[in-house]
Amino acid sequence: PPPFTGVWMGDSKLCAIGVHCGNHITSHGLALNCCTDLTWFEHIVPCGLEGKGVTSLSHELGQRIAVSHVLEPFLDSFQEVFDCSLVSSEDPG
């Protein structure tokens, strides 16, 4: 529940999920930390949550996990869970 939205590994956030509403437009998105440089988070209070941290797939699995490694499986799972078909803006037509 809020404010702990997203995907968590213990006390560390692995994936942030957000929604923004403004000017009659709603946008949403997520940020899955794959191989993020986590040292940047040492200078802020991530998501405004004192005592909580941030992690990444690479950190948790002990090997470099690039976005390119997770993109296709993620999109496949998204389509399955939400029973939809995704169309890339790079696809002609």
Whether residue 84 lies in the annotated active site: no
Residue 30 and residue 19: Cα distance in Å, rounded?
Answer: 9
In angstroms, what is the C-alpha Rg of the chain? 15
**Catalytic annotation, pick one of 21, 34, 35, 47:** 47
Q: Which helix (DSSP H) or strand (DSSP E) does residue 25 occupy? A: strand 25-32
Burial tier of 55 (Cβ tally within 10 Å: 0-12, 13-18, 19+) = buried
> How far is the C-alpha of 86 from the C-alpha of 78, rounded, in Å?
9
Residues taking part in catalysis? 47
